[in-house]
């Protein structure tokens, strides 16, 4: 028994459409599987980009859950908009592959996927998949100059804030630049402790949370979005404080061992806890919007 074609669609048209989607997906696989394979063996092995596999899994899940809404979207191909976007994506991809620029390779996905949707289904399908398409941006590695420009100031402020907090509660701590001196120990706030990675990760997961909850209030969403970076910075302060206290009370070996990795888990738990708390408080403080959501 063969599967019935969608209502109003001739079986031969449905078959051609299915073949077209299969060709499109095969083309994407040929282009980007090598990029993902390289990332899995190189940049995703580092702490700075270790979130890559998780982001990729989220994107795959998003497109999988949207597959039926995309297929059910009105058929309205937009070649005038689709071809320029798609060709621009191919050019960016080609530049990235030729010059080994991973930012271009990953960034081209946004244009290629958006252009492909416009060509195959049109603007209605792109409206359905807009969040999944934009979420591809979280796979793009942060540019080196951008990371360098932010990491130094962030490390400085982390060390200053941690020193002031611990000194205020009675610990013998001081700081010189990004080096914290507590008791007999000296600890340098490394690049990984600047908080930039946690800001990036929390932004990715925070925006996903906002998309899934679908709050209707623009004010609610604006406050949630604006809170992500301060929350990530504050959570990173907690992480560094935990590491300093572990080193001070349990020794350098404990601070650099298993508990160092566990502090990263503490960071994300604290960040998510605060983020959910902000969402809950906003629901309480904006009751009219909460009631609208429940209707």
Active site residues: 193, 239
DSSP conformational letter for 140:
S
Instruction: Report the run of H or E that residue 173 belongs to, with start and end.
Output: strand 173-176
DSSP 219-287: HHHHHHHHHHHHHHHHHHHHHHHHHHHHHHHH-HHHHHSHHHHHHHHHHHHHHHHHHHHHHHHHHHH-H
What 3-state class would DSSP assign to 13? helix
What 3-state class would DSSP assign to 24? helix
Alpha helix segments (H runs only) across 143-217: 144-168, 196-213
Residues forming beta bridges with residue 187, ordered by sequence position: 180
CA dist., res. 103 & res. 138, Å (int): 11
């Amino acid at each position: 028994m063969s599967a019935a074609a969608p209502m109003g669609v001739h079986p031969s048209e449905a078959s051609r459409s299915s073949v077209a989607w299969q060709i499109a997906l095969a083309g994407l696989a040929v282009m980007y599987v090598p990029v993902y394979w390289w990332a899995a063996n190189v940049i995703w092995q580092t702490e700075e980009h270790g979130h890559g596999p998780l982001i990729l899994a989220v994107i795959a899940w998003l497109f999988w859950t949207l597959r039926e809404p995309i297929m059910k979207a009105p058929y309205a191909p937009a070649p005038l908009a689709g071809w320029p976007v798609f060709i621009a994506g191919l050019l960016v991809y080609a530049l990235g592959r030729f010059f080994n620029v991973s930012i271009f390779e990953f960034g081209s996905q946004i244009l290629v996927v958006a252009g492909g949707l416009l060509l195959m289904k049109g603007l209605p399908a792109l409206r359905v998949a807009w969040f999944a398409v934009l979420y591809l941006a979280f796979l793009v590695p942060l540019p080196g100059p951008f990371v360098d420009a932010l990491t130094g100031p962030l490390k400085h402020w982390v060390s200053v804030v941690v020193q002031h907090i611990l000194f205020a509660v009675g610990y013998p701590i001081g700081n010189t630049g990004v080096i914290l001196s507590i008791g007999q120990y000296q600890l340098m706030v490394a690049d990984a402790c600047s908080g930039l990675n946690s800001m990036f990760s929390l932004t990715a997961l925070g925006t996903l949370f906002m998309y899934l909850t679908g709050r209707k209030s623009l004010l609610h969403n604006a406050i949630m979005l604006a809170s992500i970076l301060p929350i990530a910075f504050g959570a990173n302060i907690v992480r560094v404080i935990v590491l300093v206290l572990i080193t001070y009370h349990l020794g350098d070996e404990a601070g650099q061992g298993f508990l160092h990795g566990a502090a990263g888990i503490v960071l994300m738990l604290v960040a998510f806890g605060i983020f959910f708390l902000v969402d809950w408080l906003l629901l309480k403080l904006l009751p009219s919007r909460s009631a609208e959501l429940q209707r």
